[in-house]
């Protein structure tokens, strides 16, 4: 039995991850359901490479869509969907797969993770349904931060602040943000370039549309349509379904299917890429049935396991420390190191020392007085019998209560001389 560990289902699709979705589609069409089982682990750390999808077979871990497909074919664990392709077409599979990862991947991350509206209303709730507490507070944030870094080169990291695809433009810059009475006194510019006339929102919208259309139009041209009565839309008409088709489906389905509030990719796809839409509809209808997938019952994780994974995500998200920790874990996975070695001991000691210093610094900072405040020392005084020491409030109380009894007489006895000279005065007063 082949154990396939993936991210769980979301948006009506078997997985929330494009490569996991691609691998599920491949195995559904290349291997009998009795030969493999699908485990929604939702835990990349289960694999030594900290990556999903991951396959565990005969004690060997393999991660990533393409390495897993190559491993399965080399060990005769599934059918080769690219067997009917020519050598040139097999070379195109490698080239087009690299294009999908380089261009479609950041575009997908822009839609599901970078966009704050799409993240908060659609993607984040999907991860919350897949993960258990307290991982819902640590794992999604770490995933989004990594996705934002991978999409930084697009220049659209501040998508929601600069652009509203629904038509709302924020007046954060440009002449339209100025009052009419003030704009009348500004010197009139007779010549403006097109870039100067555009507001930042308009420039962002044009950039976003350009990136989306550029990626989808290339994929639209690469798709081929069957001749004659066959209306099959594939990257290679000689193959009913190739590994490239499965990979493209993983990316494109997550671009169109999620019900995001800002579906700029879906709108562009339906407008300029009709063949891509037909391609997705055909695979969803004829090559992937979520109800027929061999899902395995996922055992609940232990408290210790959840705590360890939570600590792992916290360390990875810490500034400076997170990078060193990720590099150390990657080195241990590459060198198959188990247990503690010298580098691991030094790293743990450095983290412990840093935590101790930060903890002491936080405790010392809390013990300080507010900056600029005067130091006041209060010392308790025993046997206070004169209320006048309390200032005006004490004098007022002394007038109301009369003379205090002497300690030698106790609380139950009052000196007659003092009682004779005492006066009880009724007064209304307010103390601030």
Domain's final residue, options 305, 337, 363 = 363
Q: Are residues 262 and 348 in the same domain?
A: no
Say which residue, 39 or 318, is predicted with more confidence: 39
Asked whether the predicted pLDDT for residue 93 surpasses 50, the reply is yes
pLDDT per residue as tens digits for the range 142-190? 899 889 988 888 877 666 554 444 444 333 333 343 444 434 444 555 5
| pLDDT grade for 292, boundaries at 50, 70 and 90 | confident
Give residue 173's pLDDT: 36
Is 44 within the bounds of a domain?
Answer: yes
Give residue 58's pLDDT: 87
14 burial type by CB count under 10 A (0-12 exposed, 13-18 middle, 19+ buried):
buried
Asked whether the predicted pLDDT for residue 27 surpasses 70, the reply is yes
CATH number (domain holding residue 25): 1.20.1050
Give residue 135's pLDDT: 83
| pLDDT grade for 207, boundaries at 50, 70 and 90 | confident
Is 389 within the bounds of a domain?
Answer: no
What DSSP state is assigned to residue 13?
A: B
Please tell me the distance from the alpha carbon of residue 177 to that of residue 308, in angstroms, as a whole number.
51
Give residue 20's pLDDT: 96
Q: Are residues 123 and 23 in the same domain?
A: yes
Q: Are residues 325 and 282 in the same domain?
A: no
pLDDT per residue as tens digits for the range 217-233? 999 998 877 654 457 88
- Which bin fits 174, alpha (ψ -120 to 50), beta or left (φ > 0)? left
Give residue 178's pLDDT: 41
Is 403 within the bounds of a domain?
Answer: no
Is 221 within the bounds of a domain?
Answer: yes
CB-based contacts of 244, cutoff 8 Å, min separation 6:
92, 93, 96, 97, 235, 236
Q: Are residues 149 and 36 in the same domain?
A: yes
Would you say the C-alpha torsion 224, 226, 93, 34 has a positive or negative sign? positive
Is 210 within the bounds of a domain?
Answer: yes
Give residue 161's pLDDT: 55
Q: Average the pLDDT over each of 24-28, 133-137, 144-148, 171-175 and give the range with the smallest value.
A: 171-175
pTM of the model: 0.67
Is 416 within the bounds of a domain?
Answer: no
Q: Are residues 207 and 333 in the same domain?
A: no
Give residue 250's pLDDT: 95
Q: Are residues 8 and 140 in the same domain?
A: yes
pLDDT per residue as tens digits for the range 341-392? 666 666 667 767 777 888 888 888 777 766 666 666 666 655 545 666 666 7
Domain count, the chain: 2
Domain's final residue, options 245, 271, 287 = 287
Give residue 169's pLDDT: 36
Q: Are residues 276 and 155 in the same domain?
A: yes
Q: Are residues 275 and 325 in the same domain?
A: no
Per-position DSSP letters for 78-143, written without gaps between them:
S--TTTTS-HHHHHHHHHHHHHIIIIIHHHHHIIIIISHHHIIIIIHHHHHHHS-TTHHHHHHHHH
Please tell me the distance from the alpha carbon of residue 257 to that of residue 115, in angstroms, as a whole number.
16
Give residue 177's pLDDT: 38
Give residue 418's pLDDT: 47
Q: Are residues 127 and 260 in the same domain?
A: yes
Arithmetic mean of pLDDT, 202-207: 73
Say which residue, 361 or 79, is predicted with more confidence: 79
- The pLDDT > 90 percentage for the chain reads 35
- The pLDDT > 70 percentage for the chain reads 61
Q: Which three-class secondary structure state does DSSP give residue 174?
A: coil
Give residue 409's pLDDT: 47
Please tell me the distance from the alpha carbon of residue 38 to that of residue 154, in angstroms, as a whole number.
35
Average pLDDT, the chain: 76
Q: Are residues 283 and 326 in the same domain?
A: no
Domain's final residue, options 267, 287, 307 = 287
CB-based contacts of 334, cutoff 8 Å, min separation 6:
none
Q: Are residues 22 and 146 in the same domain?
A: yes
Give residue 206's pLDDT: 78
Give residue 342's pLDDT: 60
Find out whether 127 and 136 touch, Cβ atoms under 8 Å: yes
pLDDT per residue as tens digits for the range 297-308? 765 555 555 565
Is 425 within the bounds of a domain?
Answer: no
Domain with 73, as residue range(s), is: 2-162+197-287
The helix or strand, by DSSP H or E, that contains position 31, with its residue range, turns out to be none
First-to-last alpha carbon distance for the chain, in angstroms, is 79
Is 50 within the bounds of a domain?
Answer: yes
Give residue 1's pLDDT: 80
Give residue 248's pLDDT: 95
Q: Are residues 353 and 218 in the same domain?
A: no
Give residue 163's pLDDT: 45
What DSSP state is assigned to residue 390?
A: G
């Amino acid at each position: 039995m082949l154990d396939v560990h993936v991210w769980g289902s979301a948006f009506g699709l078997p997985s929330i991850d494009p490569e996991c979705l691609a691998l599920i589609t491949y195995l559904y069409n290349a291997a009998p359901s009795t030969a493999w089982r699908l485990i929604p682990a939702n835990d990349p750390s289960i694999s030594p490479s900290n990556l999903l999808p991951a396959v565990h077979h005969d004690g060997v871990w393999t991660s990533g869509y393409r390495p897993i497909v190559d491993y399965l074919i080399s060990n005769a664990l599934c059918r080769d969907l690219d067997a009917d392709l020519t050598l040139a077409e097999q070379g195109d599979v490698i080239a087009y797969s690299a294009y999908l990862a380089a261009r479609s991947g950041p575009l997908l991350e822009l839609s599901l993770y970078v966009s704050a509206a799409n993240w908060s209303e659609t993607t984040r709730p999907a991860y919350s349904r897949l993960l258990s507490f307290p991982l819902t507070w640590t794992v999604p944030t770490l995933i989004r931060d990594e996705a934002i870094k991978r999409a930084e080169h697009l220049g659209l990291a501040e998508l929601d602040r600069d652009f509203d695809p629904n038509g709302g433009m924020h007046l954060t810059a440009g002449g339209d943000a100025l009052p009419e009475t003030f704009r009348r006194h500004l010197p009139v510019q007779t010549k403006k370039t097109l870039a100067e006339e555009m507001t930042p929102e308009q420039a962002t919208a044009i950039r976003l549309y350009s990136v989306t259309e550029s990626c989808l139009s290339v994929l639209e041209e690469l798709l081929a349509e069957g001749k004659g009565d066959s209306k099959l839309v594939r990257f290679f008409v000689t193959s009913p379904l190739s590994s490239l088709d499965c990979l493209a489906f993983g990316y494109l389905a997550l671009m169109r299917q999620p019900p995001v509030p800002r579906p700029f990719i879906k709108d562009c796809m339906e407008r300029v890429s009709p063949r891509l839409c037909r391609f997705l509809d055909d695979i969803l209808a004829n090559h992937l049935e979520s109800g027929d997938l061999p899902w395995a019952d996922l055992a609940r994780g232990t408290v210790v396991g959840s705590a360890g994974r939570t600590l792992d995500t916290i360390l990875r998200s810490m500034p400076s420390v997170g990078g060193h920790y990720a590099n150390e874990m990657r080195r241990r996975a590459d060198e198959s190191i188990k247990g503690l070695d010298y580098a691991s001991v030094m790293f743990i000691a450095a983290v412990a020392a840093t935590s101790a210093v930060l903890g002491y610094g936080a405790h010392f900072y809390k013990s300080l007085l507010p900056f600029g405040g005067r130091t006041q020392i209060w010392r308790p005084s025993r046997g206070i019998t004169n209320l006048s020491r309390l200032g005006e409030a004490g004098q007022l109380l002394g007038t109301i209560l009369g003379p205090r009894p002497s300690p030698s007489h106790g609380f139950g006895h009052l000196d007659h001389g003092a009682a004779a000279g005492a006066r009880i005065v009724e007064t209304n007063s307010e103390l601030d």
